[in-house]
Amino acid sequence: MSVKWHNLKAVLRYCEGMDQPIVKPSWPMLFDLASDPGELYNIMETKLDMGWMVGVVLKFAGDFHKSVAQYPNIKTGAEFEGYDQPS
C-alpha cells in the first residue's frame, strides 16, 4: 500500500516479488518522484524535515479505510446491485 500526494510517494508496505513476504517498514518510505522517478532514495532516511508527511499519509490511509468500510468489495461471483443510498 502506498500513498501519492503531489510529487511525493509514501510506501507503507511492499514486497520484493510475488513469492516474497510483505514487508512493513517501521516508518513509511518516502520518495520524491520529481527528482527520483525510480524510487531509489528514501528521503525519510536522509531529510529530517520530511516527518510532516507522515500526517498527510495517515489521513489519506484513514480516509481509504473509511471508504472501504462504507463501500465494501462485492463477494466473488455476486451481482452488484448498488449500495444503499444514505437518507
> What is the SS3 assignment for 63?
helix
Identify whether the C-beta of residue 46 lies closer than 8 Å to the C-beta of residue 32. no
pTM for the predicted model, two decimal places = 0.69
Per-residue pLDDT band for 2 (boundaries 50, 70, 90) equals confident
**Could you read off the pLDDT of 39-68 as tens digits, one per residue?**
999 998 888 787 788 888 888 888 988 998
With pLDDT > 70 as the criterion, what percentage of the chain qualifies?
98
Cα distances from 62 to residues 3, 25, 39, 44, 80, in angstroms, run 11, 18, 24, 21, 25
